[in-house]
Amino acid sequence: QLQLEESGPGLVKPSETLSLTCTVSAGSISSTTYYWGWVRQPPGKGLEWVGTIYYSGSTYYSPSLKSRVTMFVDTSKNRFSLKLSSVTAADTAVYYCARQRKVAVSREYFIDTFDMWGQGTMVIVSS
C-alpha cells in the first residue's frame, strides 16, 4: 500500500521560508499515471490546494500563492518538496501531501482527485 509522509520544521519565523518534504514509499513517484500535490488546512478552517508537481518537474501552483511557492521533485529519493517564502501567521496550517490522479479527457491530460494522503504535518509561523 503506497504511503506518503510529510517532514519538516514545525515552527517557522515570520518572513522566513517554510520547507517541507513528502517521502513516498511502496510506490514510485516516477509513475506516469499520477501527479503529486500539497494541500493545507489552517486550524479550524477548510482545505486549500497549494500546488501540484509531476515527476518530470512540471509544476502547477495556486494563483493566490504562486509568487511564494516553489515545488521540486527528487526521483532518486522518491520524494517531492514544497517551499513557501515570506511566511506570515496566515500560513500556519496542517500541510498534507497527496497523490493525484492523472486523467485523460479528449486527448488532454488533467490533474484530478487526491486519492492518497499523508497524515499531515502542523507548521506554525511565529517568532
Q: What is the dihedral of CA 57, 95, 33, 29, to 10 degrees?
A: 60
Side-chain half-sphere CA neighbours of 26 within 13 A: 6
Q: Based on the shown chain and the rule CB under 8 A, indicate whether residue 70 belongs to the binding site for other proteins.
A: no
6 to 35, contacts with other proteins by CB under 8 A? Answer: none
Kindly write down the DSSP assignment for every residue of 35-61, as one continuous string.
EEEEEEE-TTS--EEEEEE-TTS-EEE
Shorter beta-carbon distance to other proteins: residue 8 or 16: 8
Shorter beta-carbon distance to other proteins: residue 1 or 127: 1
Separation of alpha carbons 93 and 10, rounded Å = 10
18, 82, 87, 111: residue in contact with other proteins (rule CB under 8 A): 111
Shorter beta-carbon distance to other proteins: residue 62 or 85: 62
62, 73, 82, 124: residue in contact with other proteins (rule CB under 8 A): 62
Q: What is the dihedral of CA 91, 110, 59, 74, to 10 degrees?
A: 100
**Range in contact with other proteins (rule: CB under 8 A) among 23-31, 48-56, 69-77, 85-93:** 48-56
60, 70, 85, 102: residue in contact with other proteins (rule CB under 8 A): 60
C-alpha cell at 40: 493545507
Q: Based on the shown chain and the rule CB under 8 A, indicate whether residue 63 belongs to the binding site for other proteins.
A: yes
